[in-house]
Amino acid sequence: MGAFLDKPKTDKINDVGEGNGLKYAVGSMQGWRIDMEDAHQARVVISDEPPFDKWSFFAVFDGHAGSYVAKNSAENLLKTILEEQYFKEGVEFVRKNNNKLNEEAKKLLESGIRDGFLSLDAKLRSEHDEEGKERSGTTAICALVTPENIFFANLGDSRAIGWRKDGKQFATLDHKPYLDKERERIVKAGGSVMIERVNGSLAVSRALGDFCYKSVPGLQATEQLVSPEPDIYVLERSRDEDEFIVLACDGIYDVLENSDLCSVVRSRLSVSDNLSEIVNQVMDAALSKGSRDNMTLILVTFEGAPKPNPKLIEEEKKWFEEVESHIQAILTEHDARSESGDQNQIDADKLTRMLHSREIKDTPLHGIYLARPLIDRILKARESNPQH
């Protein structure tokens, strides 16, 4: 959904923080879309009161048909979850168990998180019924991080991935209309799945908002064409093995497979401890690989994350110098052709493709795509030079 700009907006918005044995960075970029419809929430410490002083919360919301529901959810989902009865009961179990989670507490917290999604959707629905104007919706991918566990809640097609030193990878599963379980609910509610979309229009089968798909009389909220019920995943933490988790919207995953994204993040962590720089590089790589959507991602690193390696840092520095020399050579050739009457313009995407056709020694994983900021900087300098 949404129209596109003539050229992408590549300005980034970043947020960083650390505490409770983790560090995080958020990156957002509008990209090719006319409007920015993403939102996020990042809390290293939920509150000063135990056990919340050791718990963290992160979430990404990918809005569609407007940004209201995404922004409202970013502001209110955590608060709504904390107010749920099952969640409160789970917290009491934790407090009575020396701030540690047992199986009963986990089940209660899971139920509380689920109910929080349903309650927030109901509140948004009441606003919609009163005003009758709001048509937007949003996906949601959330992570509640405790010392022993990570609770992931997924709704829609944003996604969470995680990586451990032993090579084990975790990923949430998207809610797409063409999946058997989702299609069955949609058809039972009187809808259809055409061109892999709900009624040929909406690309996700679960979301907050989207109330035009939640109006079948006599059906519960979780039985409608589009359901607000999240899938909950509970992972045990390992201080020695856990490296990082990533929460991101489909603007990232449209062009990067889970394993590719994990590999890019690990390779970036081996040459930089600047998490803002890393999330920005991932977004630039996604843009260069063809993503046309808004992009938001949160990178959370744990104590076991890779550390910068001086040798790799030096190797990458030399590689970027080599790339810059290739860029300048390409531009020199282009200018010569222009003087001969060739009026074809050169932009960042074309320059990236031309770099791909060259053999550049020791190119890192997705290296040319990671060179997008360098390409943009050189082209911007040319624009300010009246000779070109």
How does DSSP assign 282-312, residue by residue?
A: HHHHHHHTT--S-EEEEEEEETTS----HHH
Residue 366: what pLDDT? 77
The half-sphere exposure of 95 on its side-chain side, counting CA atoms within 13 A, is 11
Residue 343: what pLDDT? 63
Residue 387: what pLDDT? 62
Question: What are the pLDDT digits (tens) for 25-41?
Answer: 999 999 999 999 999 99
Which amino acid, one-letter code, is at 170? Answer: F
Which amino acid, one-letter code, is at 173? Answer: L
Two structure tokens written together for 346: 């050169």
Residue carrying the six token digits 């609770």: 151
Q: Does residue 276 register a pLDDT over 90?
A: yes
Two structure tokens written together for 309: 């390696």
Q: Answer with the residue of higher pLDDT: 312 or 366.
A: 312
Q: Answer with the residue of higher pLDDT: 166 or 51.
A: 51
> Cα dist. 343→6, 147, 183, 338, 346 in Å?
19, 60, 51, 6, 10
292-319 in b/e form (b: 16+ CB < 10 A) is ebbbbbbbbbbebbbeeeeeeeeebeeb
- Three-point CA angle 297, 35, 141, nearest 5°: 30
Average pLDDT of span 333-362: 83
- Residue 265 near residue 244 (C-beta atoms within 8 A): yes
| CA-based nearest residue to 251, from 82, 68, 15, 1 | 1
Average pLDDT of span 52-67: 97
Stretch(es) of the chain classified as CATH 3.60.40.10: 4-171+230-301
Average pLDDT of span 221-227: 98
Question: What are the pLDDT digits (tens) for 92-121?
Answer: 999 999 989 999 999 999 999 999 999 999
User: Lowest mean pLDDT: which of 65-79, 158-172, 196-210, 334-348?
Assistant: 334-348
Instruction: Indicate if the alpha-carbon torsion angle 262, 180, 232, 292 is positive or negative.
Output: positive
Spelled out in words, what is the top-level CATH class assigned to the domain 4-171+230-301? Answer: alpha beta
Q: Answer with the residue of higher pLDDT: 89 or 348.
A: 89
Q: Answer with the residue of higher pLDDT: 65 or 129.
A: 65
Which pLDDT band holds residue 134 (cuts at 50, 70, 90)?
confident
Q: How many CB atoms neighbour CB 61 within 10 A?
A: 31
Residue 209: what pLDDT? 97
Which pLDDT band holds residue 132 (cuts at 50, 70, 90)?
low
Which pLDDT band holds residue 131 (cuts at 50, 70, 90)?
low
Which amino acid, one-letter code, is at 268? Answer: R
* DSSP 8-state class, residue 189: T
Report the SS3 class of residue 26: strand
- Tell me what percent of the residues of the chain surpass a pLDDT of 90: 83
Q: Does residue 332 register a pLDDT over 80?
A: yes
Residue 18: what pLDDT? 98
Q: Does residue 388 register a pLDDT over 60?
A: no
